[in-house]
Amino acid sequence: MKIEFLNSIVDIAEQDWQRLNSQASIFSNYQFFHCLEASTSVSKSQGWQPHHLQLSDDERKVNAILPMYIKSHSWGEYVFDWAWADAYQQHEIPYYPKLIATTPFTPVTSNKLLSNNVQLIDVFQLLSEHCQQQQLSSWHLLYSQDEPNVTPQQCNDIYQRNTVQFHWLNYNYRDFDDFLSNFTARKRKNTRKERLSISQQGISVRHVVGKDISVAELAFFYLTYQLTYLRRGHTPHLTFEFFQAVIKKLPEHVLLIIASCQGEDIACAWFFFDDKNLYGRYWGCTKSYNNLHFELCYYQGIEFCIENNLMLFHPGTQGEHKIARGFEPKLTTSYHWVKHPAFKPAIKAFCLQEQQQMRAYQLQCQQLLPFKVNQPST
């Protein structure tokens, strides 16, 4: 078996990627990763050095690909390990660089390993050996749908972390009113009141799919995208060129929802979608209006899913306010390994405790759902 760590997506043949990728999701699409690198949104200078794993058999046929990055920070990952980095720093031990397997800036669960016959446990072993040989403190496989299918003894030094996200599920709703009919009377009234407030403020909403997004609309979106980050004291992760490239390469997967008032665009929300799922990714506004965030980022997305028979709406990470709007708590899974033996016991204990806390939190959130029963009937 030939093992390679490649420094650019262009070093991977697109036909090999497509042959191994059985997923329809845009976030496993070769062109999505290509847009990230070609736009310099992902690069060594940005702290995301491509380091993609490619495995080939003895006949030089590629049989596994795992997109990976050497990271010099922990931004843009959403599985937070700042406390681990701080602990290393307190002991004057470098935590960075580290190795990450993920879709950059995208906290969406998917099969990160593209392969028909390579087992995840074998990849775990390869990554651990690679970190031992290189100046890499650890490896992290984030938001994984892959199942290792191994005993705890085989993964003794590999730690699982769970987080809770809030997803909307389509139980074959006919329309938005059918969805609301599953709410308790008080929650249903509150939601209708929120939606009504949009028209009462003189706000109109339009949907624009990728191929129809104009230069002016894209410029307005990127302005609001920048404002969202700047208000939090950060610079945007993605360049304008990334969004230009995505519209060109993957127009059938892009939805832009724009709000206007008195003929002026005031806010927008950027979504990706595929055959089954909708993903809310970025939101921004130039003026503040009551309930506008809920309308653009949640209610409009739910309506889009119902109209297009999409089964799941992933609106982004965190946000307990999503529960009252019908988004259900779901566990995510990540896998982690650290090289330094002195930190292993503490990190293992942390992960085990966190798993228990996340499962308890998920149950608590389920009790707060607005439905007449905890789960709508299928």
Could you identify the residue written with the tokens 């789960």? 375
Tell me the residue ranges of DSSP E strands in the chain.
2-6, 48-50, 52-56, 62-66, 68-71, 98-101, 114-115, 138-141, 159-169, 203-209, 254-261, 264-273, 277-285, 312-314, 328-338
The pLDDT assigned to 227 comes to 95
Per-residue pLDDT of 45-104, as tens digits, reads: 999 999 999 999 988 899 999 999 999 999 999 999 999 999 999 999 999 999 999 999
Each residue of 192-230: pLDDT tens digit? 999 999 999 999 999 999 999 999 999 999 999 999 999
Q: Quick one: pLDDT band at residue 149, thresholds 50, 70, 90?
A: low
Q: Does the pLDDT of residue 152 top 60, yes or no?
A: no
Instruction: Classify domain 2-164+330-366 by CATH number.
Output: 3.40.630.30
Structure tokens at 348: 């293992």
Measured distance CA(204)–CA(259) in Å, rounded: 6
**CA quadruple 184, 310, 295, 179: dihedral, nearest 10:** -20
Q: How confident is the model at residue 135 (pLDDT cuts 50, 70, 90)?
A: very high
Taking the CA atoms of 246, 253, 170 and 20 in sequence, report the sign of the dihedral they define. negative
Quote the crossing angle between the two packed helices 240-249 and 30-38, to the nearest 10°.
150
Residues of the chain with CATH 3.40.630.30: 2-164+330-366, 171-310
Q: State the pTM of this model.
A: 0.94
Burial class (CB in 10 A: 0-12, 13-18, 19+), 244: middle
Number of other residues whose CB lies within 10 A of the CB of residue 185: 8
Contact criterion met (CB below 8 Å) for 268 and 258:
yes
Give the pLDDT confidence score for residue 234 in this predicted structure. Answer: 87
Identify the pLDDT of residue 378: 46
pLDDT band (50, 70, 90) for residue 151: low
Closest by CA position to 306, among listed 116, 170, 146, 202: 170
Mean pLDDT, residues 178-186? 97
pLDDT at 334: 96
What six digits make up the tokens of 57?
């058999």
- The yes/no answer on whether domain 171-310 falls in CATH 3.40.630.30 is yes
Residue 60, judged by CB atoms within 10 A of its CB (0-12, 13-18, 19+), counts as: exposed
Which pLDDT belongs to residue 351? 96
pLDDT digits (tens, 9 = 90+) for 278-326: 999 999 999 999 999 999 999 999 999 999 999 999 998 888 999 999 9
The pLDDT assigned to 58 comes to: 82
**The length of the chain, given as a count of residues:** 378
Is 90 within 8 Å of 47 (Cβ atoms)?
no
